[in-house]
């Protein structure tokens, strides 16, 4: 019989996954804020904003996404390894 089958444990697991997902998306939220503040108009301005976003924040976003998948798997499955 699996343990932690109560409603509260399911709620806390869901809440933990949502919080981890929000933390993993911090670089994206930061880029959206910068894009909204800078509001580029021309082609070159948008190219620079997208380039900086992909180059700097893209790598951080990818690493946080992998960490989020591992943590979510660990939260969902009682003993993943």
Q: What is the pTM of this model?
A: 0.69
Range 58-67 average pLDDT: 89
Residue 79 predicted with pLDDT over 60: yes
Q: What is the pLDDT of residue 67?
A: 92
pLDDT (tens digit per residue) in 6-50:
778 888 888 989 998 999 888 889 889 988 998 999 999 999 888
CA–CA distances in Å: residue 23 to residues 16, 26, 47, 61, 66:
11, 5, 27, 10, 12
Residue 59 predicted with pLDDT over 60: yes
Q: What is the pLDDT of residue 37?
A: 92
Tokens for 49? 């904003």
């Amino acid at each position: 019989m699996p343990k932690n089958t109560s409603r509260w444990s399911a709620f806390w697991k869901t809440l933990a996954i949502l919080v981890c997902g929000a933390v993993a998306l911090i670089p994206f939220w930061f880029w959206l804020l910068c894009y909204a503040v800078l509001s580029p108009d021309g082609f070159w301005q948008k190219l620079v904003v997208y380039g900086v976003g992909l180059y700097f924040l893209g790598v951080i976003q990818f690493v946080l996404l992998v960490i989020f998948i591992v943590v979510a798997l660990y939260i969902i499955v009682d003993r993943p390894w």
